Chain A
């Protein structure tokens, strides 16, 4: 059982199976060898935020099950009247397309960030922010349309009142996430543009030097917000 103390970084052959996983995870100084502090923190925050959205979506499903009034058909409620006919979910489809595209520009921004191409990085981040803002704008349009049709958090002419409550709460909470993301995209894009990460300029609040990694951490958050939208799309609009 007992062996001599070893403090070398290479303690000999790795144990096999689960024990090897545990040994890796519990190894010296860092559990995740390639993740910086900022990245690890963002991942764990996103895990926590997943539980927030998970609770929101589960609550919506429970409300949908427990209400005795019929649930409205989302395809009809979210249809737009275009060219003489109702096109179901057309706005939501465009919104989804815009947000998923913004994930693409974000990924490219991360790539150019690590290549130190400041201009391209900043422009791509601005494009991401623009797409995000367009998403929020379309959501505002959707809210306005539903409100003008009489949908409120407490009532809804199409059926169960919980439809309106859950809709405004969940899309509102997600939209807040997107808006916060847009604001931070602009802040980080400005830092990239100004060359803060090359000159090691210190942050206004934290007094710490930034690195191009900030673009990637921003990207993690942005992709997460997109992914959450996919679930909201599937569970709220398609179901």
Chain B
């Protein structure tokens, strides 16, 4: 940290990009419904994603009810149970988390945080949302189609996913699921290209890549990953549609079903697994990286301290993204593979622990001797750290071939991925909504309701998923409709199952408090100032709150410093906005 020499240092770089031509809506419809404004699109994305997420939440209740009280609820038969599992998984991973982080937070925060007026191609951005909505509607149509939605498990492994024994396999279910995913990929590509190009080519003057908030880094990197990983899902879906509709045999080996030899022969089911997991593993980080980025900013802002090791944080994000493309087959250890490949994939998987651990250490070191404000965003960020560390450590177990093989397809795996990519990112989403709600609506969320929701959700989610590790170690399998009398599963496991289900019901119900808070605060919440958290990043420096169309009024902002000038000694306040000229104070930014 050094004093800024007076004069000279405030020189502003010349504008390289001409100011953006904005589309100005002429009617209510083009302003609020078919809007090209990234902020409106973000809200549309978020509402759609949260709505479909609530459906997935109810499905998880139904599964838990069956596991705790087998056979008690007559309408949950085996077929329905598998349909619930499949839809719960796919909705949560793709239609809620991916859409909410990238389509929701990405759309709202990227233009504001890099100092742009909007995304670079607002029309394509608008199409992105409507195509996403179409994908969601096709998905939901599965519930009403003859035979119901597919029950193939969210991984949709062939050949079982297109056979008649699987719910939806020979009905509409699997067709609607595959079509919905194809449409989703097309829609996402339109939005994703926008996010990437806006970050790369549309930043404000002075905003170098190494001055971007980590939120933008996380969302940006995740979007790049999505643009490279979704093609594999797209291709896999197209090929499976052909297998099912045209009778091709890409994934279908010679197979006898109910005593009948099917027409298929010579295909490779393993090929689908490779394609699926080449998408599926990066997908984990597509969900995790935005959470990493957002939580970094929440911790730094609410601990009033610059993020520890900013450059290391950026490189860790980039390295995690790169590594995640060469680890996919660790999901396939039990599918069988050459031991040399198993060794390769186990090694690359475990190497990911290094940049990830760097991130966790840096979050903790940011908190160290910080001026921690236990606001709700901070509480959720802390909850994220303890949840994520738990899920990350069990990932080290499952990354090893010899440990994975006995644990695979047990509740241990369910516990692991729910901790690491279910609960942890969702906690960040709650924290982020508490953090940015005042910017989006101009009002604060209610604190009392927020605390009630926080404690039930955080402790409850731990109570749901932590015991599942024990169930998994006992050998309780996942994806079983009913365990029945099994010699190696002790009766105590059943008691634990009942406990987990009760906690799941409570945590699910607590989300109503959050939804009520969202709606109630919209009308009755305390009015927020433009910068209620006294944060440095650009989105808090807009002339209006909520920001108007075009974000910045007449002149685009100019950036003079990084995003983390908190508690700089000698500065009049404990934060210095990025728009503050250098002569006005010191900085902790490290320049090379």
Contact residues in B for A145 (Cβ distance below 8 Å): none
Contact residues in A for B123 (Cβ distance below 8 Å): 205-208
Q: Are B242 and A59 in contact (CB under 8 A)?
A: no
- Cα–Cα distance between A220 and B424 once the two chains are bound (Å): 41
- Cα–Cα distance between A47 and B200 once the two chains are bound (Å): 15
The yes or no answer to B204 lying at the interface (CB within 8 A) is: yes
The A49-68 residues at the B interface (CB cut-off 8 A) are 49, 51-52, 54-56, 59, 62-63, 66-68
Contact residues in B for A40 (Cβ distance below 8 Å): 197, 200-201
Q: Are A5 and B228 in contact (CB under 8 A)?
A: no
Contact residues in A for B228 (Cβ distance below 8 Å): 47-48, 51
Q: Are A26 and B267 in contact (CB under 8 A)?
A: no
Q: Are B210 and A26 in contact (CB under 8 A)?
A: yes
Contact residues in A for B4 (Cβ distance below 8 Å): 4-5
The yes or no answer to A183 lying at the interface (CB within 8 A) is: no
Contact residues in A for B174 (Cβ distance below 8 Å): none
Binary contact readout B200-223 vs A (1 if CB under 8 angstroms, 0 otherwise): 111111111110000000000000
The A146-172 residues at the B interface (CB cut-off 8 A) are 153-154, 160-162, 164-165, 169
How large, as a class, is the contact surface on chain B? Answer: 35 or more
Q: Are A2 and B193 in contact (CB under 8 A)?
A: no
Q: Are B13 and A7 in contact (CB under 8 A)?
A: yes
Compute the total of residue contacts between A and B using a CB distance below 8 Å.
Answer: 187
Do A26 and B208 form a contact, CB below 8 Å, given A5-B589, A7-B582, A69-B266?
Answer: yes
Do A28 and B238 form a contact, CB below 8 Å, given A47-B227, A51-B228, A162-B267?
Answer: no
Q: Are B206 and A28 in contact (CB under 8 A)?
A: yes
Q: Are A4 and B232 in contact (CB under 8 A)?
A: no
- Cα–Cα distance between A235 and B142 once the two chains are bound (Å): 38
Q: Are A29 and B203 in contact (CB under 8 A)?
A: yes
Contact residues in B for A5 (Cβ distance below 8 Å): 4, 9, 560-561, 582, 587, 589, 591
Q: Are A52 and B234 in contact (CB under 8 A)?
A: yes
Q: Which of A31, A48, A62, A66 has the most CB of B within 10 A?
A: A48
Do A48 and B201 form a contact, CB below 8 Å, given A26-B208, A59-B239?
Answer: no
Binds A, one of B131-139, B247-255, B359-367, B371-379: B247-255
- Cα–Cα distance between A67 and B249 once the two chains are bound (Å): 9
Contact residues in A for B230 (Cβ distance below 8 Å): 48
A sample of 15 more A-B contacts (CB under 8 A), given A5-B4, A5-B9, A5-B560, is A4-B4, A5-B591, A6-B591, A28-B13, A37-B121, A40-B197, A44-B197, A47-B227, A48-B193, A55-B234, A62-B271, A63-B250, A68-B266, A161-B249, A208-B23
**B→A interface (CB under 8 Å):** 1-5, 9-17, 21, 23, 120-123, 189, 192-194, 196-197, 200-210, 227-228, 230-232, 234-236, 238-239, 242, 246-250, 263, 265-268, 271, 274-275, 278, 559-561, 582, 587, 589-592
**A→B interface (CB under 8 Å):** 1-9, 15, 19, 23, 25-33, 35-38, 40-41, 44-45, 47-49, 51-52, 54-56, 59, 62-63, 66-69, 153-154, 160-162, 164-165, 169, 173, 205-209
